Structure 1
């Protein structure tokens, strides 16, 4: 998937073709405004206001306590971006907004919008320092209680659609009875597999501050004791021996160094039963030669590589690197399964 500039007429097509349009200026001037505009619209409750029948600029401004002139400018941009339709100076939601941005929708990404606007946006100002030093922010060490709450809501929002696809596609033993979900917080991946496999139970190993904020999110999924939290740290705790049919580590490898991921893989291999599987679920950094086992070079994977480098410890890893950890731990690398709903992301699977 790529973010492109699309011409609207023949003359614009020609201008793009002959390199007459200064694309770097669009990237530097337009794209930041677009990103921040969508974040602020979600944060200020604009999509909810329109959904609740506030359709004119004045009505929306009154509902959200915003300046009408500034709001009119924002709505003009959101209209062009396809978030609203307009007729007779009245705005209505498009299918995109209604499905993805309303708080109560099952697949809503509103939680990620809030986290990115209130917590992540200031981090981007530190990109220049990161490029000089190579030292990431390592945000898990600095989150306040309020920020942990935003973070867990964001992780829930980011994985809602993915978790359902994961439940359908993950190549797990059909007779599996016990799963370890490393850093699984909200538990959506575990819940998806437990709903698929009636005899499966899952343990979510996570940090205490994460569990404090994620426990109510897991409770809402109604899985009772079949999916439960266990406080711990994947870097310091052992996982036991020959206990699990499935071990999942989703969106966590990018927080760990190469050496730490190798050590986690060693402990996972020890904890798996014969025939068990270890799934590393991650955004994938394409290989230098462009070959990433079908994941491909794309905007999502490459931008997340830079983002994770800035905000955490490492960044993305390639399929080859992940499989090397698994192989060194005595596991047999198996399938690489990509997502239709989340381009640039994949399950890298190994068997005991």
Structure 2
């Protein structure tokens, strides 16, 4: 086949590798193996799977480099041991659990493009199942990024932080660890804050992190803060919602207070970088009116809310952008 046909075919089949990995994770193949060598029949017995089917799946995982096979016994590869076995410091199970939920919503992409909005059915029971792995995924990502992000933020004079939609509190934890004088308030939904409290306690900063429940699109934010941090919030909203939210944040801040917005910012032509371009479709299938936004769009919302000293920073190696501003005195 020609190179062009090869590329189309490779792209069309790319889902296969993803599905093999996710099924292996869902069934508990990696957790069952741990640091041990086992036959596929032994693994099948432990995970409640058909022996022949489990053998074929595990052979495919070998091809992907996630398992090794020697003399009929399988082991986790080094990468799988570090990221897919519970208890390891770099365990990414929460993130993969979130990807599994995205598989369902992305399967509705064709209809979402036809309708112009999400057609995915968000049942109450499904949300209950979705929240914990979603927060775990966000915590995994944010905990890795936080040390890099905080290097870009001037914390001089910052005592009180408002973490809007703070989820697990990964960034609030990082702020508190960066300075013993900082306390943080995390504003998030009622089904999220119990998880927030667990993460704060585990990090040993529960005495300096408090929570306020509410919906930042419909409820007022608490006031009296030196810095407001919004990480990956705007993309779930429509432009009108973001305009209103920026004004609310302005009200929440003390004179001279900072706003820091972290987002996947797409270029003005909307065809680069690839990550934010693809992520806009993630918002299409998963939200009513969410999207990825440009620097110009975010800057206009900050300006309209009365923020000055607006600037953009692209922290190296993060794939994200910080948009910053300061409330006028």
> Normalising by the residue count of structure 2, what TM-score does the alignment of the two structures yield?
0.89
Output the CA distance in 2 between the equivalents of 1:348 and 1:157. 22
For residue 254 of structure 1, give the secondary structure of its aligned residue in structure 2: helix
**CA contact 1:335–1:350 (8 Å) conserved in 2:** no
Q: In the superposition, relative to structure 1, how do residues 215 and 59 fare at CA in structure 2: closer, same or farther (>3 Å)?
A: same
Q: In the superposition, relative to structure 1, how do residues 140 and 275 fare at CA in structure 2: closer, same or farther (>3 Å)?
A: farther
For residue 209 of structure 1, give the secondary structure of its aligned residue in structure 2: coil
**CA contact 1:249–1:280 (8 Å) conserved in 2:** yes
Q: In the superposition, relative to structure 1, how do residues 289 and 260 fare at CA in structure 2: closer, same or farther (>3 Å)?
A: closer
1:53 corresponding residue in structure 2: 36
Determine if the alignment matches structure 1 residue 309 to structure 2 residue 284: yes
Output the CA distance in 2 between the equivalents of 1:95 and 1:286. 37
For residue 279 of structure 2, give the secondary structure of its aligned residue in structure 1: helix
Q: CA deviation at 1:161?
A: 1.4
Among residues 334, 337, 340, which one is paired with 2:314 in the alignment? 337
Counting only pairs closer than 5 Å after superposition, residues 15-164 of structure 1 correspond to structure 2 as 15-16=2-3, 19=4, 21-28=5-12, 30-117=13-100, 119-137=101-119, 142=124, 143-164=126-147
Output the CA distance in 1 between the equivalents of 2:270 and 2:15. 30
Among residues 170, 186, 203, which one is paired with 2:185 in the alignment? 203
**CA contact 2:152–2:315 (8 Å) conserved in 1:** no
For residue 22 of structure 1, give the secondary structure of its aligned residue in structure 2: helix
Output the CA distance in 2 between the equivalents of 1:277 and 1:86. 54
Determine if the alignment matches structure 1 residue 219 to structure 2 residue 201: yes
For residue 285 of structure 1, give the secondary structure of its aligned residue in structure 2: coil
Output the CA distance in 1 between the equivalents of 2:106 and 2:253. 39
Output the CA distance in 1 between the equivalents of 2:137 and 2:118. 20
Output the CA distance in 2 between the equivalents of 1:94 and 1:206. 38
1:293 corresponding residue in structure 2: none
Deviations 1:291-330 (A, max 9, x none): xxxxxx2332221111112101211112221122112212
**CA contact 1:339–1:346 (8 Å) conserved in 2:** no
1:230 corresponding residue in structure 2: 212
Deviations 1:115-144 (A, max 9, x none): 332x33222232122111112258778544
2:267 corresponding residue in structure 1: 286
Q: CA deviation at 1:256?
A: 1.0
Deviations 1:145-170 (A, max 9, x none): 23323332333233331233333x24
276-285 or 47-56, which deviates more: 47-56
Output the CA distance in 2 between the equivalents of 1:193 and 1:126. 38
Q: CA deviation at 1:27?
A: 1.7
Output the CA distance in 2 between the equivalents of 1:303 and 1:311. 13
Output the CA distance in 1 between the equivalents of 2:157 and 2:61. 49
**CA contact 1:247–1:279 (8 Å) conserved in 2:** yes
**CA contact 2:111–2:119 (8 Å) conserved in 1:** no
1:298 corresponding residue in structure 2: 273
Determine if the alignment matches structure 1 residue 239 to structure 2 residue 221: yes
Q: In the superposition, relative to structure 1, how do residues 222 and 289 fare at CA in structure 2: closer, same or farther (>3 Å)?
A: closer
**CA contact 1:284–1:319 (8 Å) conserved in 2:** yes
> Normalising by the residue count of structure 1, what TM-score does the alignment of the two structures yield?
0.83
Output the CA distance in 2 between the equivalents of 1:141 and 1:225. 35
Q: In the superposition, relative to structure 1, how do residues 226 and 264 fare at CA in structure 2: closer, same or farther (>3 Å)?
A: same
Number of residues of Structure 1 aligned to a counterpart in Structure 2: 324
Determine if the alignment matches structure 1 residue 166 to structure 2 residue 165: no
Output the CA distance in 1 between the equivalents of 2:157 and 2:78. 40
**CA contact 2:270–2:277 (8 Å) conserved in 1:** no
**CA contact 1:110–1:157 (8 Å) conserved in 2:** no
Q: CA deviation at 1:182?
A: 0.5
Output the CA distance in 2 between the equivalents of 1:145 and 1:197. 35
Output the CA distance in 1 between the equivalents of 2:49 and 2:64. 21
Could you tell me which runs of 5 or more consecutive residues in structure 2 were left unpaired when the two chains were aligned.
Answer: none
